[in-house]
A and B are shown apart, each in its own frame.
Chain A
């Protein structure tokens, strides 16, 4: 009887099977036919071989699990064929579990087919590295966790959600949203998110699977399955009646959807409000009342408690606008729109941020010179922003955009000491880490390994090289050229630069030569930049203990050494742990630092030294380390 039930379920799932099989066939056809199968290494992107690469795969499998589960029971109840099944000499619980087992079996079978195909791929690979990418122990882990374990979990969730028919999808979205926001507010909640199952760290070549996440998700899946069984086997008629009524009454249905969306919006809005609007911890007692101020070119918003610092910016703003326009000329009148300037921002990520006719500045820095620098920098961004710029090109040109804003800010509001320090840092980074201009054109990969400020510093030297090689009008012309739709979309990297510069009769080699010359000239003075290094030596009382030393510095100090910790390159900057300590040159010091929020098995850190808390430290590269 069970075999007959399984056959019946498979017939019922046939459309899903065909759909999923088509996806699999397409993917494998691409891997085996559209690429040379002995060179294709898509599996090298897999979740077991790359830290944090499995998050998307887990979500994709969850959606597949929901689709499969939705094809198991709701249809039977809606068409009342379940009543026929209940007349068979089989316990209802057995029917339910058979359906669950078939759903899980289908997902497992498809996953195993995919794994088998990738195993064949590896066996065919021309490189011995490729052939050994998945040793047997990893293959077994992939099958046990990614193919089998995950299928059990996702179909169990699907069995529960499918009870609520289409409302289940709304419920799913609400839960998803809550988990995403909840995780941002309280990172240990990540174990409740399905992504945590395939989100692994690595110790060398060994993946460190999060056993706690599997335990929690396994328990949640078992509970979901038990609850689904209880609902489907006892109250299915009651909910079906309610759902039928809901479907038939259009008004009620619309009201339900609207209510659901409203609840989702309110819930996420409230959570985001708690998250975003929480006043920074260093501003107790400051009036948070919001005030506005209009100038000829700007509309400012600022907090009453920061009025003195806001005025430093407001008084300079229109002058800054006119002066930046001399570097970045635009259309006459600019349409008369003011730039909306939000001075209520407080972020550990940036001092300022700019977009299309908008900018935000953090007023917490006390130095008027720094505030003015940020104003000029962000105003440059606003005036350089081009509506036609290709988003995919923006990423590769980010170093130019930031470098241009820095260059213009330093030219118009000179801070020779800070500029020289930034340029020395650029020169030091270039020699110490063998950075090439091409490295700057992949900002994602760059900031995964280096301090983001180096993009600004190296970008500023690049713009100085452009101006030196081809004149002060060139940067503004390049901004327009990069947004020109006639510039081939396929161009990227150095080829894009070569093509854009040629339009202005400028030569890439000349620019690169000026850029390199400038950095080389600065090399002898890079010994003025203090250098710190650190290593994790212990854990005490819940804190990570680093041995920190200032290895090179022009004086004994003490120097302000900053240690930054994050879980991985995807960690939002606001979640980084940043602590600063005074350290004397040459004396190793044990410093306890708060652990990162996620408290996984691996984390990343970097360390930098500066003369005081206003100066920019030169940070080491991000190192990942096992606790």
Chain B
């Protein structure tokens, strides 16, 4: 959700800068080509890199736009409502752990306790012995409530993964302040 929101902010800022028609023109140029599923896709992308597509469709310099986008995000961060929202987000040291006695899990020490009981999900999946992107659909879930007022928390998956198995582990929490899930930590580890 957070990634989608970030991408949407880019389109919104672009529309504000160049107008709807040019923004849509970029969307059409980048997203509407029917793929062929062979080397032609690769060659097309080599001939039409993102920078060229962007500059051709919008007339803006790509680097300048990225700087503008970043500046705008910083400016939004300074907005009192945004600052209040960001301050409510959990912060501190959250890490994925791999403990021989307890298995794989996470440990968190928040800088400030959560204001409300928060539903979190420990997502995990066994990986093959090599690293490639994984589909979110394959993740298994263990839901739990992070009690309000509690800064230290840990959850482990005892005896679920054997020594030497490769595991992806992520901690997602449903944060009412931003109205969506946010991933607090994720890592690929080898079970101890």
Contacts and interface: CB of A to CB of B under 8 A. Distances in A.
A38 interface: yes
A129 B132 contact: yes
Contacts of A37: 39, 42
Given A623-B162, A623-B165, 19 more contacts: A36-B39, A44-B130, A49-B128, A49-B129, A49-B130, A127-B132, A127-B133, A129-B131, A129-B133, A130-B132, A133-B131, A203-B164, A204-B190, A205-B129, A205-B130, A205-B190, A433-B140, A536-B162, A625-B164
B81 to A, nearest CB: 36
Contacts of A34: 38-39
A27 to B, nearest CB: 15
B97 interface: no
B50 interface: no
B158 interface: yes
A-B CB proximity, top 5 nearest:
A204-B190, A625-B162, A202-B129, A623-B162, A626-B164
B130 A605 contact: no
A624 B166 CA distance: 10
Interface string A11-38: 0000000000000000000001111111
Q: Bin chain A's interface residue count.
A: 35 or more
Interface of B: 37-39, 41-42, 45, 126, 128-133, 140-141, 158-166, 190
Contacts, number: 86
Contacts of A129: 131-133
A204 B132 CA distance: 14
A575 interface: no
Interface of A: 32-38, 41, 44, 49-51, 124, 127, 129-130, 132-133, 202-205, 207, 433-434, 449, 533-536, 602, 604-605, 620-621, 623-626
Contacts of B38: 33-36
B188 to A, nearest CB: 9
Contacts of B140: 433-434
A205 B166 contact: yes
Nearest to A601: B164
B42 A533 contact: no
Nearest to A125: B132
B186 to A, nearest CB: 14
B130 A534 contact: no
B132 A41 contact: yes
Given A37-B42, A127-B133, A205-B190, A434 B162 contact: no
A626 B163 contact: yes
Instruction: Tell me which of A41, A535, A602 has the highest count of chain B C-beta atoms within 10 A of its own C-beta.
Output: A535
Given A38-B42, A204-B166, A535 B159 contact: yes
B76 to A, nearest CB: 29
A205 B189 CA distance: 10
Nearest to B38: A34
Contacts of A533: 158-159
B129 A623 contact: no
A37 B37 CA distance: 10
Contacts of B132: 41, 44, 127, 129-130, 133
Contacts of A604: 162
A602 B158 contact: no
A602 B39 contact: no
A12 B87 CA distance: 77
B192 to A, nearest CB: 10
A626 B165 CA distance: 8
B130 to A, nearest CB: 4
Nearest to B132: A129
15 contacts: A35-B38, A36-B38, A36-B41, A129-B132, A133-B130, A133-B132, A203-B190, A204-B164, A204-B190, A533-B158, A536-B163, A604-B162, A605-B162, A623-B162, A625-B165
A253 to B, nearest CB: 50
A37 B45 CA distance: 12
Contact of A50 (B129, B161, B162, B163): B129
Nearest to A625: B162
Instruction: Tell me which of B37, B130, B160 has the highest count of chain A C-beta atoms within 10 A of its own C-beta.
Output: B130
Contacts of A41: 132
Contacts of A623: 159-162, 165
A202 B164 contact: yes
Given A50-B130, A433-B140, A36 B42 contact: yes
A626 B45 CA distance: 44
Nearest to A434: B140
Contacts of A625: 162-165
Contacts of B131: 129, 132-133, 205
A183 to B, nearest CB: 24
Instruction: Tell me which of B41, B42, B140, B160 has the highest count of chain A C-beta atoms within 10 A of its own C-beta.
Output: B42
